[in-house]
């Protein structure tokens, strides 16, 4: 039987970060993953360029039953710290929008940076290795693996959430937490496209593939980013963001011409450009196909000069305050992250250690801390992995 000071389950962003830090402290570390390669989610992230952090990362960008839990880790290992490492490694990157940093080249560079650091820190990595059972012992933990068994003093669960089951995501981490008596905050798919019922889909069919800037709100939460009509419903960054706040049965409100009062614009056009086609006026502020459908649904006159007050107010409402009830989401199949997870009340925010089970740690997405879209989820993985790595 092999003995390790630290065993990390999951060679993702959080697990590798933790293993590196523990290895640097001279701990004997083993990382186990059932996948064939480490960092598979990093590889596919950010369209293959990995949005590895966000320069504005702050606790307000994270959702958790305890919004204060993430503060300590985010303060101790910041976006600046990770950026400095990326720069030292010589990885070229750029800011795309809203503080989001992407590799110029490929996400593989981030994976190579992490695996290189693991090797340097003497971390052992066992891939294609499944964990069959975990038991508490007097000295720590005993893990029964697909092949053989290992024991360790500290066990770190970095097995991620349930999103993208096709890539091997399971509920493993939550089951393990339950086994040790830790509560779980109910999980649900987040950063996920929203779907419509059949009738609505039929109406919006001509818009599939149309993208527009929008302000999307659910209750008091709003996001101003791009939105995309799909053949299932709505997607794009603004929708993915709001999906983390939206709940079944609720409506969302969409302003598809942010900053432009469409009713006022049409009224002005009625006076000054009456002979112009209404579609010409509306298409100055909306994608043409969207403008076309809005006019059709408002039964609007062809020329701007002939628009009735009623039609103008219908068009204004449809564009500036479209209120729509999604029926659901595309689920874990396409969700970027899992909302909920191991209840932070059961963890020490400075170390990620389970309060009631010394030696047991949870880091990354498996914990009930979920970031917005835009590099925040990786920052949580780096920060929570780093702090655990100082203690395990
Ligand atoms: P992660 O899921 O990365 O790693 C968990 C590891 O555990 C995996 O390697 C898995 O194989 C392994 N594992 C699971 N169960 C196991 C078991 N039973 N036994 C052994 N191993 C097991 N975030 C961001 O900040 N910027 C971005 O650009 C993107 N882009 C993006 C795109 C897509 C398509 C997705 C799905 C997600 C993103 N994300 C993102 C989210 C980000 O990928 C995610 O939050 C982090 O990868 C979470 O890191 P973890 O290390 O916690 O889990």
Dump pLDDT digits (tens) for 297-350.
Answer: 999 999 999 999 999 999 999 999 999 999 999 999 999 999 999 999 999 999
Whether 173 and 61 map to the same domain: the answer is yes
> Could you say which of 287, 308, 329 is where a domain stops?
329
Q: Is 51 found in the same domain as 10? A: yes
Q: Is 145 in the pocket of ligand 1 (CB under 6 A)?
A: no
Is there a single domain that holds both residue 115 and residue 204?
no
What's residue 156's pLDDT? 98
Q: Is the pLDDT of residue 203 over 90?
A: yes
* Residue 13 CB–ligand 1 contact under 6 Å: yes
Q: Which of 389, 59, 22, 51 is nearest to 240 (CA)?
A: 51
Are residues 232 and 373 both part of a single domain?
no
Give the pLDDT confidence score for residue 166 in this predicted structure. 87
Tell the residue number behind the tokens 């349930």, with chain if given.
Answer: 162
- Alpha carbon 305 to its chain centroid, in Å, reads 46
- 184 & 197 share domain: no
The per-residue pLDDT for range 242-286, each reduced to its tens digit, is 999 999 999 999 999 999 999 999 999 999 999 999 999 999 999
CA trace torsion 110, 115, 116, 121 (10° rounding): 130
**Does the structure show a pLDDT above 90 at 1?**
no
What CA–CA distances, in Å, run from 336 to 99, 125, 339? 19, 25, 10
Residue 97: pLDDT band by 50, 70, 90 thresholds? very high
- The tens digit of pLDDT for each residue in 117-137 reads 999 999 999 999 999 999 999
135 and 273 part of one domain: no
Residues 11-62: pLDDT tens digits?
999 999 999 999 999 999 999 999 999 999 999 999 999 999 999 999 999 9
Number of neighbours of residue 284 by Cβ within 10 angstroms: 12
Instruction: Please check whether residues 219 and 365 belong to one and the same domain.
Output: no
Out of 57, 377, 387, 389, mutate this one to test ligand 1's pocket (max ligand atoms within 8 Å of CB): namely 377
Whether ligand 1 lies within 6 angstroms of the CB of 130 is answered as yes
ipTM value:
0.99
CA 366 to ligand 1 centroid distance, Å: 9
Which residue, of 329, 352, 381, is where some domain finishes? 329
pLDDT band at 241 (very low <50, low <70, confident <90, very high): very high
285 and 316 inside one domain? yes
DSSP for 253-321, written as a single string? EEESSTT--HHHHHHHHHHHSTTSBHHHHHTTTS-HHHHHHHHHHTT--SBGGG--HHHHHHHHHHHHS
Q: What's the 180 CA to ligand 1 centre distance in angstroms?
A: 23
Last residue of a domain, one of 329, 344, 360: 329
The answer to whether 41 and 15 are in contact (CB under 8 A) is no
User: Which pLDDT belongs to residue 358?
Assistant: 97
Tell me how far apart the alpha carbons of residues 159 and 15 are, in angstroms, rounded to a whole number. 8
- State both tokens at 331: 């689920």
Domain around 179: 2-188+335-389
Q: Are residues 229 and 375 in the same domain?
A: no
Q: Is the pLDDT of residue 170 over 90?
A: no
The tens digit of pLDDT for each residue in 180-196 reads 999 999 999 999 999 99
169 and 243, same domain (yes or no): no
Average pLDDT of every residue of the chain:
97
Residue of the CA atom closest to atom 3 of ligand 1: 12
Among 184, 123, 186, which Cα is nearest to 354's?
Answer: 184
Do 157 and 15 share a structural domain? yes
Pairing label, strands 149-157, 360-362: parallel
Residue-level pLDDT at 63 = 98
The answer to whether 252 and 217 are in contact (CB under 8 A) is yes
Q: Are 353 and 182 in contact (CB under 8 A)?
A: no
How many domains is the chain partitioned into structurally?
A: 2
CATH of the domain at 154: 3.50.50.60
pLDDT confidence band for 168 (50 / 70 / 90): confident
**CA-16 nearest atom, ligand 1:** 51
If one counts every other C-beta atom within 10 angstroms of the C-beta of residue 53, the result is 29
CATH number, domain with residue 234: 2.40.30.10
**Going by CA atoms, what residue is nearest to atom 24 of ligand 1?**
375
Q: What percent of the chain has pLDDT over 70?
A: 100
Question: How far is the centre of ligand 1, averaged over its atoms, from the C-alpha of 362 (Å)?
Answer: 14
**Region for 295 from its dihedrals, namely left if φ exceeds 0, alpha if ψ lies in -120 to 50, beta otherwise:** alpha
On whether both 87 and 217 belong to a single domain, the answer is no
């Amino acid at each position: 039987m092999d003995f390790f000071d630290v065993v990390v389950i999951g060679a993702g962003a959080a697990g590798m970060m933790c293993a590196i830090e523990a290895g640097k402290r001279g701990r004997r570390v083993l990382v186990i993953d059932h996948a064939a390669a480490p960092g598979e989610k990093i590889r596919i992230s950010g369209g293959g360029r990995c949005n590895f952090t966000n320069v504005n990362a702050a606790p307000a960008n994270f959702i958790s039953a305890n919004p204060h839990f993430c503060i300590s880790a985010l303060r101790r290992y910041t976006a600046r710290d990770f950026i400095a490492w990326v720069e030292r490694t010589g990885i070229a990157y750029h800011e795309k929008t809203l503080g989001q940093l992407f590799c110029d080249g490929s996400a593989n560079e981030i994976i190579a940076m992490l695996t290189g650091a693991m090797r340097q820190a003497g971390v052992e990595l066992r891939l294609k290795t499944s964990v069959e059972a975990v038991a508490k012992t007097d000295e720590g933990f005993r893990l029964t693996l697909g092949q053989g068994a290992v024991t360790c003093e500290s066990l770190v669960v970095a097995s991620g959430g349930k999103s993208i089951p096709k890539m091997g995501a399971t509920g493993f981490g939550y089951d393990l937490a339950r086994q040790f008596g830790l509560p779980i905050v109910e999980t649900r798919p987040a950063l996920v496209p929203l779907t419509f019922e059949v009738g609505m889909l039929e109406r919006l069919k001509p818009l599939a593939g149309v993208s527009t800037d929008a302000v999307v709100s659910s209750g008091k939460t709003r996001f101003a980013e791009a939105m995309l009509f799909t053949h299932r419903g709505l997607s794009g960054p603004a929708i993915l963001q709001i999906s983390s706040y939206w709940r079944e049965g609720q409506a969302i409100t969409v302003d598809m011409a942010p900053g432009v009062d469409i009713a006022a614009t049409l009224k002005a056009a009625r006076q000054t450009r009456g002979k112009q086609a209404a579609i010409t006026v509306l298409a100055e502020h909306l994608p043409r196909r969207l403008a076309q459908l809005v006019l059709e649904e408002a039964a609007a006159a062809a020329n701007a000069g002939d628009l009735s007050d009623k039609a103008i107010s219908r068009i204004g409402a449809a564009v500036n305050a479209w209120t729509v009830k999604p029926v659901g989401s595309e689920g874990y199949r396409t969700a970027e992250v899992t909302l909920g997870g191991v209840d932070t009340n059961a963890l020490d925010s400075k170390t990620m250690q389970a309060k009631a089970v010394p030696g047991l740690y949870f880091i990354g997405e498996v914990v009930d801390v979920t970031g917005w879209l835009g590099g925040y989820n990786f920052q949580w993985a780096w920060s929570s992995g780093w702090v655990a790595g100082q203690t395990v």
